[in-house]
Structure 1
């Protein structure tokens, strides 16, 4: 069986198009298919569309509906937990992930010793330049400072064996970053490249700000480098302040005290204060993550499934 996990947030327009395209590809797939749609607190008619799809294909379509919006990471985790297949894939409902790659991905796993076939965009054509710039910077930073390597342009769209999915499910942390977890658990992975695609319908829920916060979470979750950087900045500032203090004392002893320099003094104070606030903010981010983990809150809450 092949399990297809599809997190959904306001995808009422995309879902019928998505399932039609996958069904066209299914004729070239020998595996039995199961769709697992995870409704992540959508505000449109996504849930009603999923109910209708289940009525049309009760043996194929399953759905999980959250009590509110818990985020895509929670949707992925819920889908992986519900999947029954020997092979499991994660796809977006907007058809930016090409379904026609599935037969090739299945063949690659079945004819070799790899555990996962990932996909990556060959380019970022159609994406705003500033978003592309920050995305590339994110991958450079996380690969430079982190212990887990992440492939630039990699998508969540990937085909995994049951063994790899079981390993991912053992990572039960509340603060989840799936791209990092997919890499962290190991297992042999190969990547397929494809041309970037636009959404077939609807609008993306990922704004620049939400992507920025998501990237910060990715760096914090898989690297303690920001804490090291904060410590180094603090040490350099302390040493620099000590040297400056000695210089001022000796200058006053040799040349006498001067009252000039107040603007520069205020600038230095503001600069050092800014560094301190930056370092406190970095430390606070990590403490916040610890705080959320210790609460032991559920990653998601289910309100409705196709069974009830």
Structure 2
């Protein structure tokens, strides 16, 4: 079997309204590249007609189309992981199905890889998202970089290119919770970034709520660094020292000034602060223990209902 030069991995979740537009733009774009390619769609448990539309597209272009049908919804990054495990290309590009990242920009990533880079990230030139997503993404990017030392200018842009050795390294990992771009960055020998266009979602709606974005970034920071635990440990040491000094201060004050009750509410405020900090630390510790718990159960990361492939 000939190895294609390029594999395009596209997770799909409830995108029936925009799939035909994606097909109309993606296939001509890849045909014009003049290289052999395959497109690997992963239907992540869609509840609409996405699976049926992907089946129809496979029948029309079975020469370059492969479809993986999940048995349920396992998340975007598990879908990308499954796509990586089935992709055969020497280079792999990930692309969202919502067309916010134009498929015409794929050539920019491949041209950058031709310069000797093994991992190409992308930066959206002009984001067409809501203001709260834009500001939240910028804030979380800065915080994530300080905690994990992973330098991705635009972590929310999934238009990325990976060289085959990098894909093989990612496939060797069996993490239950992961963030694929960050995982690739830890393995990349020579990463780079390019500026790409960004379009407003024309059809359908975003699959990421505010809670989902917070949850994703929490997983990212706890999955690639123990710095949050170290910060909390240092905060505990600092508070313990301040508490010791405060006890000495209260003792000296009692000896020289005498007993008084005016500082009662101050003590209450300090106690509530320390209780809140303790609960936060317990929750943070629980995040790491929870990740260990999910990993050691050794349950399947995803279940595949069917694979549509002309060779299978």
Q: TM-score, normalised by structure 2?
A: 0.92
SS in 2 for 1:114: coil
CA contact (8 A) 1:118 1:154 kept: no
CA drift at 1:188: 1.8
Counterpart-to-counterpart distance in 1, 2:265 and 2:287? 33
- The answer for unaligned runs of 5 or more in structure 2 is none
Displacement over 4 Å in runs of 4+: none
Seen in structure 2, the aligned counterparts of structure 1 residues 35 and 152 have a Cα distance that, compared at 3 Å, is closer
Q: 1:191 aligns with which of 158, 172, 193?
A: 193
Are 2:120 and 1:109 equivalent residues in the alignment? no
SS in 1 for 2:157: strand
Counterpart-to-counterpart distance in 2, 1:205 and 1:154? 13
Match in the other structure for 2:126: 123
Counterpart-to-counterpart distance in 2, 1:192 and 1:149? 14
- Between 115-124 and 48-57, the greater mean CA deviation after superposition: 115-124
- The answer for unaligned runs of 5 or more in structure 1 is none
Written as runs of structure 1 = structure 2, the 5 A alignment for 1:1-308 is 1=4, 2-110=6-114, 112-124=115-127, 126-152=128-154, 155-306=157-308
Aligned alpha-carbon RMSD (Å): 1.7
Counterpart-to-counterpart distance in 2, 1:270 and 1:177? 35
What do the CA deviations read for 1:113-138 (whole angstroms, capped 9, x no partner)?
A: 222333211233x3222222221121
Counterpart-to-counterpart distance in 2, 1:50 and 1:295? 33
SS in 2 for 1:156: coil
Q: TM-score, normalised by structure 1?
A: 0.93
SS in 2 for 1:3: strand
SS in 2 for 1:209: helix
Counterpart-to-counterpart distance in 1, 2:163 and 2:227? 32
Counterpart-to-counterpart distance in 2, 1:161 and 1:237? 47
CA contact (8 A) 1:142 1:223 kept: no
CA drift at 1:154: 5.9
SS in 1 for 2:47: coil
SS in 1 for 2:270: helix
SS in 1 for 2:159: strand
What do the CA deviations read for 1:149-187 (whole angstroms, capped 9, x no partner)?
A: 222356221222222211221222112111211211113
